[in-house]
């Protein structure tokens, strides 16, 4: 049968959503046997229960109503959970009644892991950019603070020299204290 060789998992359901057939890809994906899947409701294999205005409604009813054609979900069976992209097609008989539902599920594990890695890389890039911007801001801040402090230190030294030349009294202790404070501020911003 051609369905056995398709890479996607194929489920064929009866009109009420009971699994009648699964291909080898589906069995491999869920790591189970045909006997375990045959006869169970599709709702027992897909993890999503759909909430509607009327309340919770089975996946099969939503498919038959035409509310779902594609779904990004998980196949879950006996402890195995696999992310999949699923599509649903209702095959109607001549009277327009749903006769068979065909479900195709493509394994999305690789795509999901790539998406996760991409998000991680984006977060790292954003973090690096923020750290770089913070570093540049810090350098700018140090420069903007240290320049006036250096100028203040030089003016203080000039004032001291002018007072000494004019034979003025110098409060040496006050000058040294101011000089020490300027030096401490300079040291703190450079660390």
**CA dist 169 to 33, 151, 161, 162, 165, Å?**
102, 24, 11, 11, 10
CB environment 86-119: b (16+ within 10 A), e (fewer): bebebeeeeeeebeebebbbebbeeebeeeeeee
Residue range 132-183, pLDDT digits in tens: 888 888 888 777 777 777 777 787 778 777 777 777 666 677 777 777 777 7
pLDDT at 21: 93
Q: Where are the domains of the chain?
A: 2-107, 115-190
Please, which residues have CB within 8 angstroms of residue 186's CB and are 6 or more apart in sequence? 146, 149, 150, 153
Task: Answer whether 175's CB lies under 8 Å from 164's CB.
Answer: no
Phi, psi of 163 (to 5 degrees): -65, -40
Residue 51 scores a pLDDT above 50: no
Residue 45 scores a pLDDT above 80: yes
Kindly indicate the confidence band of residue 67, based on its pLDDT and cuts at 50, 70 and 90: low
Question: What angle separates helix 109-165 from helix 172-190, to the nearest 10 degrees?
Answer: 160
Of 167 and 81, more confident = 81
Tell me what the mean pLDDT of segment 20-48 comes to: 87
pLDDT at 93: 80
Antiparallel, parallel or unpaired: β 50-52 and 70-77: unpaired
Domain 2-107 class, CATH top level: alpha beta
What global pTM score does this model have?
0.57
Residue 31 scores a pLDDT above 70: yes
Of 51 and 133, more confident = 133
Residue 2 scores a pLDDT above 50: yes
Please tell me the distance from the alpha carbon of residue 141 to that of residue 117, in angstroms, as a whole number.
36
Tell me what the mean pLDDT of segment 49-68 comes to: 60
As to burial, measured by CB atoms within 10 angstroms (0-12 exposed, 13-18 middle, 19+ buried), residue 44 is middle
Of 16 and 21, more confident = 21
Write the DSSP string, 26-81. Answer: HHHHHT--HHHHTTSBGGGTB---EEETTEEE-HHHHHHHTS-SEEEEEEEETTEE
Tell me what the mean pLDDT of segment 53-77 comes to: 69
């Amino acid at each position: 049968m051609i369905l056995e060789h398709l890479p996607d998992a194929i489920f064929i359901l009866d009109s009420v959503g009971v699994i009648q057939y699964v291909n080898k890809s589906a069995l491999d994906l869920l790591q189970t046997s045909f006997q375990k899947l045959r006869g169970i409701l599709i709702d027992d294999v897909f993890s999503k229960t759909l909430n509607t205005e009327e309340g919770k409604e089975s996946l099969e009813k939503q498919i038959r109503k035409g509310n779902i054609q594609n779904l990004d979900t998980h196949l879950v069976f006996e402890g195995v959970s696999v992310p999949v992209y699923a599509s649903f097609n209702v095959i109607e008989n001549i009277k327009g009644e749903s006769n068979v539902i065909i479900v195709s599920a493509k394994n999305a594990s690789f795509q999901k892991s790539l998406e996760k890695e991409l998000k991680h890389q984006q977060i790292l890039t954003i973090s690096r950019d923020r750290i770089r911007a913070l570093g540049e801001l810090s350098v700018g801040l140090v420069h903007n603070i240290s320049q006036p402090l250096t100028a203040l230190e030089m003016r203080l030294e000039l004032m001291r020299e002018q007072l000494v030349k004019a034979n003025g009294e110098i409060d040496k202790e006050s000058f040294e204290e101011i000089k020490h404070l300027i030096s401490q501020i300079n040291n703190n911003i450079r660390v």
